[in-house]
């Protein structure tokens, strides 16, 4: 994804609708930004509407199952839903890339930067942190905060969910799904056939990851334990490198943890864990996700929700439905390609072995007709002593 960002000393994320006019905005949600001055370091300065920064992002595709056709809101022509488009984060305004790029080019592009969110999707959170002048709390680490938790809170981290109950259900679904563990092996061709043709209940995969529980509980990686923390929104103490991620989360989904009775320490640990999970999910391509990834992320999200009050259902639903469906789809795609390839290789190897055996078989008559004198003597002797015992020579 790409943000269109204003350059200069005071950088703001900007939504582009018509860069050649005095007002640059997403027309659909009417959050406008006015040009302020030409006299400072920035070629374009902007102020936000009601403190909300609206911006257009570049995404791989946007589709809605309710529509058969899709249109560009800028040129009003039909668009291919599988092509990358700019869309507004506040509304459904969607436009062709070339429509938005053309508008940017028409205006003054001095100081305009295109920022790849694949490299830094937390830029908005970073900028907000800087605007709020958040500073490190020197000497205090998330490891210190964990050490200061009560014994009861530490037990919650170790076992945030009902381990025994979840383990029982997990084992049940794990056993059902185990037949597909080596789906890419030609030795399990019957299971391969069942995966593609049977009426197997594929929701069992969702249930398996949903009931997974990690024996070690909720743990923060060592690399974060020693980092000094930043106070995000004045109450969540999060490792410095994770602060932009958590800030972006709060900006996008809001602070829904206010009603929780959990302590500041436990909320800080939970916000750190949530930031780590979000970071990992955002760094993992859908086609590279494994069942172990699903198990870890869902266990952590469920655990975080239990100990902190953060509502993480939006993540769980996407993981269990859309992402899991895509995972099974990629598994099918890989197997659809790999099994024929492996069978072709096996056939080629067997055919080569068969040809080798045929050639050896053809040589047998020639070899037998050219026995050495020693071998002929041995065979003659064996024929003479047929039916005799070894002791017949003496008794």
Residue 336: Cβ-neighbour burial (10 angstroms; 0-12, 13-18, 19+): exposed
In the structure encoding, which two tokens stand for residue 10, read together? 């005071």
**Looking at residue 375, what is its pLDDT?**
93
Torsion of Cα atoms, 182 then 184 then 186 then 188, to 10°: 30
Bridge partners (DSSP) listed for residue 116: 2
**Looking at residue 125, what is its pLDDT?**
56
Does residue 156 contact residue 187 with C-beta atoms inside 8 Å?
A: no
**Looking at residue 191, what is its pLDDT?**
78
Q: CB within 8 A of 53, min separation 6: which ones?
A: 12, 13, 124
Bridge partners (DSSP) listed for residue 389: none
**Looking at residue 93, what is its pLDDT?**
77
Closest by CA position to 56, among listed 126, 114, 107: 114
What are the structural domain ranges in the chain? 2-120, 136-333
**Looking at residue 392, what is its pLDDT?**
83
Does residue 103 contact residue 14 with C-beta atoms inside 8 Å?
A: no
**Looking at residue 77, what is its pLDDT?**
75
Beta strands 236-239 and 228-232 are antiparallel
Task: List the chain residues with pLDDT less than 70.
Answer: 1-68, 81-84, 89-90, 96-120, 122-138, 256-260
Does residue 335 contact residue 195 with C-beta atoms inside 8 Å?
A: yes
pLDDT, tens digit, 9 for 90 and up, residues 19-38: 333 333 454 454 333 333 33
CA distances from 303 to 65, 201, 380 (A): 32, 27, 83
Does residue 3 contact residue 89 with C-beta atoms inside 8 Å?
A: no
In the structure encoding, which two tokens stand for residue 270, read together? 């939970």
Q: How far apart are CA 230 and CA 235, in angstroms?
A: 9
Does residue 312 contact residue 256 with C-beta atoms inside 8 Å?
A: no
pLDDT, tens digit, 9 for 90 and up, residues 2-13: 333 333 333 333
**Looking at residue 59, what is its pLDDT?**
67
**Looking at residue 127, what is its pLDDT?**
59
């Amino acid at each position: 994804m790409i943000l269109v960002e204003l350059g200069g000393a005071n950088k703001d994320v900007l939504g582009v609708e018509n860069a050649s006019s005095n007002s640059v905005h997403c027309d659909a949600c009417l959050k406008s930004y006015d040009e302020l001055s030409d006299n400072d370091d920035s070629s374009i300065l902007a102020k936000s509407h009601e403190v909300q920064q609206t911006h257009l992002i570049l995404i791989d595709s946007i589709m809605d199952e309710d529509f058969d056709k899709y249109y560009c809101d800028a040129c009003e022509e039909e668009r291919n839903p599988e092509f990358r488009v700019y869309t507004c984060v506040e509304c459904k305004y969607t436009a062709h890339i070339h429509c938005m790029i053309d508008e940017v080019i028409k205006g003054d592009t001095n100081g305009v930067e295109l920022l790849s969110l694949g490299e830094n999707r937390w830029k908005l959170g970073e900028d907000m942190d800087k605007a709020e002048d958040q500073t490190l709390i020197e000497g205090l680490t998330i490891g210190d905060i964990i050490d200061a938790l009560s014994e009861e809170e530490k037990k919650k981290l170790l076992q945030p969910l009902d381990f025994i109950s979840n383990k029982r259900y997990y084992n049940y679904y794990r056993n059902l799904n185990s037949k597909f563990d080596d789906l890419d092996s030609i030795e399990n061709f019957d299971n391969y056939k069942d995966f593609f043709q049977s009426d197997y209940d594929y929701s069992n995969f969702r249930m398996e990851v949903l009931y997974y529980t990690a024996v070690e509980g909720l743990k923060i990686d060592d690399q974060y334990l020693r980092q000094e923390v930043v106070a995000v929104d004045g109450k969540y103490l999060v490792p410095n490198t994770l602060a932009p991620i958590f800030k972006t989360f709060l900006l996008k989904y809001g602070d829904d943890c206010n009603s929780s009775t959990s302590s500041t320490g436990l909320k800080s640990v939970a916000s750190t864990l949530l930031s780590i999970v979000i970071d990992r999910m955002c760094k993992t391509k859908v086609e590279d996700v494994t069942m172990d990834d699903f198990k870890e992320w869902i266990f952590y999200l469920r655990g975080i929700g239990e100990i902190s009050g953060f509502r993480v259902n939006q993540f769980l639903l996407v993981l269990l439905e859309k992402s899991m469906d895509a995972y099974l789809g990629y598994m099918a795609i890989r197997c659809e390609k790999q099994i024929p390839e492996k069978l072709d290789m096996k056939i080629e190897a067997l055919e080569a072995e068969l040809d080798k055996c045929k050639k050896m078989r053809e040589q047998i008559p020639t070899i037998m007709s050219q026995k050495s004198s020693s071998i002929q003597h041995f065979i003659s002797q064996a024929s003479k002593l047929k039916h005799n015992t070894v002791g017949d020579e003496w008794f």
